[in-house]
Amino acid sequence: MGTSRSIFAFALFLTLPIGARGRDDPAAKKPTTLEKVTVLRLPHTSGLVPVYYSAGFEARALKYQKTLIACQHWYDKQVGKHVDFTLAVLNKADWEKSTDDAYPMPSSYSTPPPIVILPARFEDFPDSADFTDNVELLVENISCHELGHIYASKLGMESEDAFLAELYANLFMVSFVRNRRPDMLSFLQGPSAKLPPERYTSMEDLQYLVGDVGMINYGWFQFQIYRLADLLLKDKALPKLLSELKSTFHDPTQRPFRYVAAQLETMRPGLAKEMGPLWQPTTLPDTQAQSCRDAPGSGKDSDLVVVNTSLKSVKVTSGKDAPVAIASNSWYTFSGHSGAFVRTDTGVCFIFGNEPSVARIPAK
């Protein structure tokens, strides 16, 4: 993670920020993820969804391929658009030659040529046995989520808001599960009771930190968004709901979670009550303005969320990075090191703590 980030910052389910997550940069003229996979000369199988796989994992690769073909057919039918893509099922060694995303976190890349990348061994995911008793079934489920990102991109629904980006992908997956895969319905009820209490429990935490909540905590949030997507789809067909969401959240500016939550509440009254503590304000502590100089600190990686509640845009600089303009009623997450600081264009500074924190620029 760099010293600052925009979001689909998907570092762990997603190792890059969500605006950046799951995307190849065409301007960089570097090999695409698919090109990196094909140069490995792995075994592969053609078909509606071509699949490359690490040696010894043909059976899993073919199972995941079959599920994704079914997902693709369902998504095509729902939105009236078709996306060709490739599947890669990789062990740790092949994964690290193909992508910078953290193994074994499933991921997808929407920029042509689209690709879904799944771990050959989800058993390597921290506490995987606490998430599910059926690893292959869960990966099939997650594969449909990853394909949902690709279809959301096709519809012009990419979002700089990590929470919304994950919600869009999960709406595709939940629609498929409810109509075609009753054996996966249990995943829509929320995270497994086997999982221990998590540090971050507010969706606002996820919105700010994305993968920096930690791999297990991130997986816990994904199951909560599964449940949310299921609630939103109970009374509406997928195409209608996607249309409403696209119209409601067309503003590219990252708005505070309270605004996002209020808009979702208008779509499904009572949603806040159903989501409970997840709809509570962030659990991140506030930090106060301090002197503009480095402070004693551990030097560990940390995040600082700058929330601009003033009526004007504010420029904030972290280290030697270019200033970031934060619009009124918006926010931006900076990544840095404990003890370092960010400076606003008004001369106010905030220090990175040992843990993520929130710096609020007041309304006055």
pTM (two decimals): 0.91
How wide is the angle at C-alpha 351 spanned by C-alphas 350 and 356, nearest 5°?
105
Other beta carbons within 10 Å of 125: 22
Handedness of CA 317, 348, 346, 304 (dihedral sign): positive
Could you give the domains of the chain? Answer: 10-279 (1.10.390), 286-361 (2.60.40.780)
For residue 34, what are the CA distances in angstroms to 106, 120, 173, 352?
15, 17, 23, 37
Long-range residue pairs from 142-145, CB within 8 A, at least 24 positions apart, any chain: 142/106, 142/118, 143/64, 143/67, 143/68, 143/71, 143/87, 143/106, 143/116, 143/118, 144/67, 144/68, 144/71, 144/172, 144/173, 144/176, 144/177, 145/106, 145/169, 145/170, 145/172, 145/173, 145/222
Closest CA to 249 of 305, 176, 171: 171
CA 308 to chain centre: 23
Other beta carbons within 10 Å of 155: 16
Closest CA to 305 of 200, 222, 233: 200
- Pairwise CA distance, residues 14 & 210, whole Å: 8
- Pairwise CA distance, residues 348 & 342, whole Å: 8
Backbone angles phi, psi at 158, to 5 degrees: -70, 145
Other beta carbons within 10 Å of 258: 11
Q: Which pLDDT belongs to residue 28?
A: 55
Q: Which pLDDT belongs to residue 293?
A: 87
Q: By the 8 A CB rule, do 260 and 249 touch?
A: yes
For the chain (364 residues), the mean pLDDT of every run of 10, in chain order, is: 31 37 55 97 98 98 98 98 98 98 96 97 96 97 98 96 97 98 98 96 98 96 98 96 97 95 97 98 97 86 97 96 97 97 95 97 86
Q: By the 8 A CB rule, do 26 and 111 touch?
A: yes
Question: Could you tell me what percentage of the chain is helix, strand and coil, using 3-state DSSP and rounding each to the nearest 5?
Answer: 40, 15, 40
What three-state secondary structure class fits 151? Answer: helix
Q: By the 8 A CB rule, do 279 and 261 touch?
A: yes
DSSP 249: T
